[in-house]
C-alpha cells in the first residue's frame, strides 16, 4: 500500500497491537515488490497486511516469498492483487470487505431516504425562491411511506442496505441471479427480475459486482423502464450503468441520480453531471473515509491475531468468491 494511506489507516492502538502480535516493522510500507527493501522483507514474511494500492502477488513475487502463508486485506475487494498463483500456492486470504460495506450502506440509506423526500428538488426550488411558499402542496408527491426501493445485488453491501431499510415503511425489491430460493424473503425483500425492479422502484440502488456479465447491466432500455421522477443510486462500479444513456436521461430531468462511481471514474470537466440540479456526484467516497479507515485496520488486526494463534479467519475469501467478486 502507499505510505500516506498506511499513516491514515492505522491508529496508534491498532499499530501497537500489530507490533505486539508480530514482528511487524511499522516503517516498512511497500507499493513495489521489486525494491531491495521489499526483496529482503519478502524472504522472511509469513503474513502480508495489504490495502488499496498493493501490487499483484504474481508467481514471481511468491517465488521470492517462500514463507508466505496468508494475506490479510485491510480493505474490500482483493481482485487487484490476489492472483491465480496465490490459490495454487494455497495462500489463505482474508478481507475487511464486511467492514468497508458498512459506510457504503450508510451512504446509500441516507440518500434513499433523502430521495424520497425530494430533497434535491426542494433545495433547488428554495434557493431560487428565497421566500415563503406552500411546500406542502408543492411536495404532495414526496415522502417515504410505502415507496418501492429496488436493490440490485445481494452483496454484503446490498444485504446491509436491506437490513438498515427494514424498519421503514418501504416496499423492498431485490434482484440477484445467484440468490437461493426464499433468501430474498429472509432478507425482508421480494425477489423480482431486473426489468420489473426498474419499472416498479421509486429508488434503484446498485450493489452488484463488476464482471463481464454485469457491464451495462442498467442499459438504455432498463433506464427507460424507470419511473419518471425515480432516483438511481450507484455506489458499486461505473461500468454497471451505460454512462451515455444515463447522462441523456438525467439531462432531460426525467430521472435523478446519486453517483459515487462513474465511467470513467473521473468524468471529463465538461460533463453536464457536475452541474445538473437532479444529480449528486461524489468522488468514490461512499466507502471507508477518515476515521472509518480505523475500522478496517482493527478488522485486519483481528485476522492477524487469528492467523498467528492458529485459528481460522473470521472473514476468509475463497477462490470461488474471488472469481465472482467486484
Annotation says 121 is catalytic:
no
Q: Which of 73, 81, 160, 237 is catalytic?
A: 237
Which three-class secondary structure state does DSSP give residue 169? Answer: coil
The DSSP element (H or E) to which 299 belongs, if any, is helix 293-308
Distance CA 181, CA 202 (A): 25
Where does residue 234 rank: exposed (0-12), middle (13-18), buried (19+ CB within 10 A)? buried
Across-strand partners of 49? 72
First and final C-alpha spacing in the chain: 19
Which three-class secondary structure state does DSSP give residue 71? Answer: strand
The answer for residues whose C-beta is within 8 angstroms of residue 159's C-beta and 6 or more apart is: 187
Cis peptide before 264 (omega within 30 of 0): yes
Opening angle at CA 322, ends 319 and 326, nearest 5:
175
Burial of 151-182, coded b for 16+ CB within 10 Å and e otherwise, reads bbbbbbbbbbbbebbeebebebbbbbeebeee
Q: Which of 64, 227, 284, 294 is catalytic?
A: 284
Distance CA 320, CA 318 (A): 5
Question: Following DSSP, what letter does each residue of 98-120 receive, concatenated?
Answer: HHHHHHHHHHHHHHHHHHHTTHH
Q: Which of 265, 311, 319, 324 is catalytic?
A: 265
Annotation says 265 is catalytic:
yes
Distance CA 301, CA 24 (A): 11
> Catalytic positions, please?
237, 265, 284
Amino acid at each position: 500500500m502507499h505510505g500516506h494511506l498506511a499513516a491514515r489507516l492505522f491508529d496508534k492502538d491498532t499499530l501497537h497491537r500489530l507490533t505486539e502480535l508480530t514482528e511487524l516493522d511499522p516503517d516498512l510500507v511497500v507499493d513495489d515488490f521489486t525494491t531491495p527493501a521489499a526483496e529482503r522483507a519478502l524472504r522472511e514474511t509469513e503474513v502480508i497486511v495489504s490495502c488499496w494500492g498493493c501490487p499483484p502477488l504474481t508467481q514471481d513475487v511468491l517465488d521470492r516469498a517462500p514463507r508466505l502463508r496468508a494475506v490479510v486485506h485491510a480493505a474490500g475487494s482483493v481482485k487487484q492483487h490476489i492472483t491465480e498463483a496465490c490459490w495454487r500456492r494455497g495462500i489463505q486470504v482474508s478481507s475487511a470487505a464486511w467492514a468497508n460495506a458498512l459506510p457504503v450502506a450508510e451512504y446509500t440509506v441516507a440518500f434513499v431516504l433523502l430521495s424520497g423526500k425530494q430533497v434535491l428538488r426542494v433545495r433547488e426550488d428554495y434557493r431560487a425562491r428565497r421566500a415563503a411558499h406552500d411546500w406542502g402542496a408543492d411536495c404532495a408527491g414526496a415522502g417515504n411511506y410505502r415507496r418501492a426501493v429496488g436493490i440490485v445485488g445481494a452483496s454484503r453491501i446490498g444485504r446491509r442496505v436491506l437490513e438498515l431499510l427494514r424498519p421503514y415503511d418501504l416496499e423492498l425489491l431485490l434482484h440477484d441471479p445467484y440468490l437461493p430460493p426464499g433468501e430474498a424473503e429472509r432478507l425482508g425483500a421480494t425477489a423480482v427480475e431486473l426489468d420489473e425492479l426498474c419499472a416498479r422502484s421509486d429508488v434503484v440502488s446498485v450493489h452488484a459486482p463488476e464482471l463481464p456479465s454485469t457491464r451495462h447491466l442498467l442499459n438504455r432500455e432498463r433506464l427507460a423502464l424507470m419511473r419518471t421522477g425515480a432516483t438511481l443510486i450507484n455506489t458499486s462500479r461505473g461500468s454497471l450503468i451505460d454512462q451515455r444513456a444515463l447522462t441523456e436521461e438525467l439531462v432531460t430531468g426525467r430521472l435523478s441520480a446519486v453517483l459515487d462511481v462513474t465511467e470513467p471514474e473521473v468524468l471529463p470537466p465538461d460533463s453536464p453531471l457536475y452541474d445538473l440540479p437532479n444529480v449528486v456526484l461524489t468522488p468514490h467516497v461512499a466507502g471507508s473515509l477518515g476515521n472509518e479507515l480505523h475500522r478496517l485496520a482493527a478488522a485486519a488486526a483481528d485476522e492477524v491475531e487469528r492467523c498467528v494463534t492458529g485459528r481460522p479467519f473470521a472473514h476468509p475469501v475463497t477462490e470461488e468468491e474471488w472469481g465472482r467478486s467486484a
